[in-house]
Amino acid sequence: MDDKKWFLLLDGTITGPHPQADADRRASQNPGYLIWGRGHSDWFPVEKWKKTVSDQEAIAARAKSKADRLWRIRIAGTELNPMGHDQMIEYLKTKNDLSEVKIWTEGYNEWKDIFQIHKVMDELGVSRRKHPRVPIMGQVTAEDPTGNFVVKALSIGEGGLGVTDAQRMKIGDRYKLNLKSPNLYNQINASIEVVYVGNDGYAGLKFTAIHSESKSSIIEYVKKFTDSKPTF
């Protein structure tokens, strides 16, 4: 967990990315922070974040002591024979569509979508985006033929949005949406396509059309995090 980076939210202001030790120090000084890191589907209160970090460190420690542990893969409901870590990575590299892949290994309390496990994503190279995502807080109102519904914005980049509470969305759906956030100087109006949906209510959205003013607002916001600090 030493190389994990976190973003902190307090009174509508987001700072980061912070190294683990710095995030822990700030959280200990002010329990009012909300904290988010890549691979998580929502912001955590401090106490829940500390428990999450502790659980992840315990899993990482078990993994280190059992380098030869086996991984199980399930694709569209069909489970494959258990395989080692390197064998799993090589196998997954042959798959063009990872949206129906779930994996499990010792230490997991449930089957996980491949996109929930950032270490595996990094090894597969599927986490690298042309446009970096940074955290944001806001309300997204989406419009489809049946009416409007609301989800929460979690991350944003020039190419799209990450949202949570999105159980209604399905891969391939297209919507017009409006994003209101205290972190942006104006509202975002765009058309999107849903490219990923997780079991935890997280969805990845790709902009298919966006107003020039909205795009400029996003670029300016993202630059606050990327000009002097690396994204992750």
User: Sign (positive/negative) of CA torsion 29, 202, 121, 225?
Assistant: negative
Mean pLDDT of 55-79: 72
Report the distance separating Cα 7 and Cα 14, nearest Å.
7
- Do 199 and 159 share a structural domain? yes
- Do 196 and 119 share a structural domain? no
- Do 159 and 100 share a structural domain? no
Whether residue 229 is predicted with pLDDT greater than 50 in this model: the reply is no
Mean pLDDT of 95-107: 79
Last residue of a domain, one of 80, 102, 124: 124
Q: Check residues 205 and 226 and name the one with the higher pLDDT.
A: 205
- Do 12 and 39 share a structural domain? yes
- Do 200 and 152 share a structural domain? yes
pLDDT computed for residue 60 by the predictor: 65
Residue 15 lies in a domain: yes
CATH of residue 146's domain is: 2.40.10.220
- Do 160 and 83 share a structural domain? no
User: How sure is the predictor about 126, in pLDDT bands with cuts at 50, 70 and 90?
Assistant: low
User: Sign (positive/negative) of CA torsion 97, 167, 158, 214?
Assistant: positive
Q: Of 91-95, 143-147, 205-209, 221-225, which gets the smallest average pLDDT?
A: 143-147
- Do 214 and 155 share a structural domain? yes
- Do 53 and 10 share a structural domain? yes
Please provide the average confidence, as pLDDT, over all residues in the chain.
Answer: 83
Asked if 101 and 114 touch (Cβ cutoff 8 Å), the reply is: yes
pLDDT computed for residue 128 by the predictor: 46
Residues in the chain: 232
- Do 212 and 140 share a structural domain? yes
- Do 199 and 145 share a structural domain? yes
Residue 85 lies in a domain: yes
pLDDT computed for residue 130 by the predictor: 54
Whether residue 127 is predicted with pLDDT greater than 80 in this model: the reply is no
Residue 180 lies in a domain: yes
- Do 176 and 142 share a structural domain? yes
Residue 232 lies in a domain: no
Residue 39 lies in a domain: yes
Residue 37 lies in a domain: yes
Asked if 139 and 154 touch (Cβ cutoff 8 Å), the reply is: no
Cα 124 from chain centre: 16
Asked if 155 and 134 touch (Cβ cutoff 8 Å), the reply is: yes
pLDDT computed for residue 140 by the predictor: 95
Strand partners, 206: 160, 193
Residue 46 lies in a domain: yes
Whether residue 45 is predicted with pLDDT greater than 90 in this model: the reply is yes
Asked if 158 and 139 touch (Cβ cutoff 8 Å), the reply is: no
b/e 73-96 (16+ beta carbons within 10 angstroms → b): bebeeeeeeeeebeebeeebeeee
Give residue for tokens 């710095």.
Answer: 22
Whole domain around residue 55: which residue ranges?
5-62
Last residue of a domain, one of 20, 36, 62: 62
Residue 120 lies in a domain: yes
Q: For the chain, how many structural domains are there in total?
A: 3
- Do 57 and 29 share a structural domain? yes
